[in-house]
Amino acid sequence: MTRPSQPTDRAPVVVGTPGSFARSVLDERHPALIERVRRATPYPPDRQRALDALLDEITGGPIGRLDDDEPGAGAWRDEPYYGQRWADVPFLWAESFFYRRLLAAVGYFAPGPWRGIDPFAPFKNAELAGAGVDDELSALDRLAALTPAERDRTLLLSSLWGNRADLGFRLSAGEAGLGDRVPGLVVDDSPALWSVLAAGEPGTVCLVADNAGPELLPDLVLADHLLATGRAVRVVLHLKPYPYYVSDATTADALACLDRLTRASGQAAEVGGRLRRAVTEDRLVLRAHPFSCAPHPYDRMPADLREDFASAALTVMKGDLNYRRLVGDRHWPATTPFAEVTAYFPGPVAALRTLKCDVVTGLAPGTTAELDATARSWRTSGTHALVQVSA
Ligand SMILES: O=P(O)(O)OC[C@H]1O[C@](O)(CO)[C@@H](O)[C@@H]1O
């Protein structure tokens, strides 16, 4: 079936002028992150100098290329933004390239002793070891008392709100800045999500993960629930092939979560045991496609990934960045139909996201005005959330 291409009549979000959300990410979050990375790991002098150079460049210089001898540099060679100011290029591209440059600076891909050392691991590990996680895991023991419908909703919402566990976001918002969550969703298509899964024979669900630890745990619990209730015969969990956006989940992070589950007690350990078995039986498949770290929207996805999503009964996109990539990170009026901007997607798709950037689609007329009147930073503060489905 030929699908329409994504509309392009709205400009992409560029980093832009001081005062914009995107600019604050580049001006505040990225320098703070370089500092945190340096403090967390004792890098040797050459890596420290590379981090200094990156900091100088993002705060003053034009965008430089990856060195020619950097492994994987070829994938970035033909990008059109080198030599331009960071402020003048698409936000999506600038953030993604920043993370790639940061990994180059710490020698993540280069042959030698620092290869494969995740600069964000100290933060991710601390979060996964936290007492808050114990509470979340022991709450699974209370699920048995719920009706099946309540269990569906609880596990879906717990995966959705898990998206607030985003370490990069907290670098600029701070714990205090992460306001109380607003329970009513700005869009709630969850009945449509369950209907898509109930229609026809159970098939594969692609779950495009976002953050590790406290977000990935409820995602895994949801995956187990889909398998255990026969909503899916297979869950393909899309992870990042390398560390990205601070807390995005890699294969190592997924394995750490499975370990955390199985070492817990009660229901959490049961879930962990089932999921480990599901991996060995190919019912839970871990994928780390290179495009998952690409600086482009999903309408540019390569053919093999398109085929994966096309053959799924449903693809669930977790989190804010996946949302931006799904809808194209453009200045859409908030009432632009979600189905229209995702019509290019090769199969049914759902977005589970807390709102952490300016881009949003699919709001009912009047909702924007209502939210503007009641919650000043509802678009970016992670206090509001949505479930959107296009089938
Ligand atoms: O982890 P998530 O939900 O994809 O959020 C990523 C964060 O980074 C941003 O892309 C900006 O840095 C925001 O949209 C969001 O705060």
Helix axes 213-228, 121-129, angle to 10 degrees: 60
Is the domain of 75 the same as that of 139? no
83 three-class SS = coil
Give the SS3 label for residue 288: coil
CA distance 53 to 148: 55
84, 208: one domain: no
Structural domain includes residue 119: no
The answer to whether residues 99 and 139 belong to one domain is: no
Q: Per the domain annotation, does 8 fall within a domain?
A: no
Instruction: Quote the ligand 1 centre to 39 CA distance (angstroms).
Output: 23
Question: CA-CA distance, 133 to 148, in Å (whole number)?
Answer: 24
CA–chain centroid gap for 388, Å, is 16
Contact 349, 315 (CB under 8 A): yes
Judge if 257 and 346 occupy the same domain: yes
Report CA 289 to chain centroid distance, whole Å: 14
Predicted pLDDT of residue 204: 98
Mean pLDDT of 207-221: 97
Look at residues 306, 357, 300 and name the one whose alpha carbon lies nearest to residue 329.
357
Ligand 1 neighbour 168 (Cβ under 6 A) = yes
Structure pTM?
A: 0.96
Q: Is the CB of 166 under 6 A from ligand 1?
A: yes
SS3 content of the chain, % helix, strand, coil (to 5): 50, 10, 40
Q: What pLDDT, in 10s, does the model give residues 258-305? A: 999 999 999 999 999 999 999 999 999 999 999 999 999 999 999 999
Ligand 1 pocket, 329 CB below 6 A? no
Nearest alpha-carbon partner for 321 in 294, 349, 287, 281: 294
Same domain membership, residue 358 and residue 275:
yes
320 lines ligand 1 (CB under 6 A): yes
Q: Is residue 121 part of a domain?
A: no
Residues 202 and 99 occupy one common structural domain? no
Ligand 1 neighbourhood includes 25 CB (under 6 angstroms): yes
Query: Do 174 and 55 share a structural domain?
Result: no
Query: 43 in ligand 1 pocket by Cβ < 6 Å?
Result: no
pLDDT at residue 214 tops 90: yes
Specify the ligand 1 atom closest to the Cα of 22. 11
Distance 104 CA to ligand 1 centre (A): 21
Q: Which residues contact 173 (CB under 8 A, 6 or more apart)?
A: 381, 382
Indicate if 46 and 181 belong to the same structural domain.
no
Q: Is the CB of 321 under 6 A from ligand 1?
A: yes
Number of domains in the chain: 2
Q: Does one domain contain both 308 and 343?
A: yes
CA distance 340 to 336: 7
The verdict on residue 6 lying in a domain is no
| Ligand 1: centre distance to CA 177 (Å) | 15
Is any atom of ligand 1 closer than 6 Å to the C-beta of 356?
Answer: yes
Residue 2 lies in a domain: no
Instruction: Clarify whether residues 315 and 260 are in a common domain.
Output: yes
CATH at 257? 3.40.50.10880
pLDDT of residue 25: 95
The amino acid sitting at 123 is F
Domain end position, chosen among 88, 105, 122 = 105
Cβ-contact 275, 261 below 8 angstroms: yes
Q: pLDDT tens, 128-182?
A: 999 889 999 999 999 999 999 999 999 999 999 999 877 776 666 655 455 678 8
Q: How far is the CA of 354 from the centre of ligand 1 (A)?
A: 9
Distance 196 CA to ligand 1 centre (A): 27
pLDDT digits (tens, 9 = 90+) for 17-57: 999 999 999 999 999 999 999 999 999 999 999 999 999 99
In the chain, pLDDT over 70 holds for what percent of residues?
A: 97
Position 12 in a domain: no
- The conformation of residue 248, written as its DSSP 8-state character, comes to B
Question: Is 319's C-beta closer than 6 angstroms to any atom of ligand 1?
Answer: yes
Q: What is the span of the domain harbouring residue 170?
A: 132-390
Residue among 192, 24, 156, 155 nearest 94 (CA): 24
Does 332 share its domain with 195? yes
* pLDDT at residue 173 in the model: 61
C-alpha pair distances (Å), 108 with each of 29, 51, 52, 268: 21, 13, 16, 33
Q: Write out pLDDT tens, residues 331-388.
A: 999 999 999 999 999 999 999 999 999 999 999 999 999 999 988 889 998 999 999 9
pLDDT for the residue 167? 73
CB 186 within 8 A of CB 384: yes
Which of 20, 96, 159, 166 for mutating ligand 1's site (highest number of atoms within 8 Å of CB)?
166
65 occurs within a structural domain:
yes
Q: Say which amino acid occupies 250.
A: T
Q: Are residues 282 and 170 in the same domain?
A: yes
Question: Is 113 domain-assigned?
Answer: no
What ligand 1 atom has the least distance to the C-alpha of 29? 12
Residue with tokens 């392009």: 8
250's CB contacts (< 8 A; 6+ apart) are 118, 212, 239, 240, 241, 242, 243, 288
Tokens 């940061």 -> residue: 102
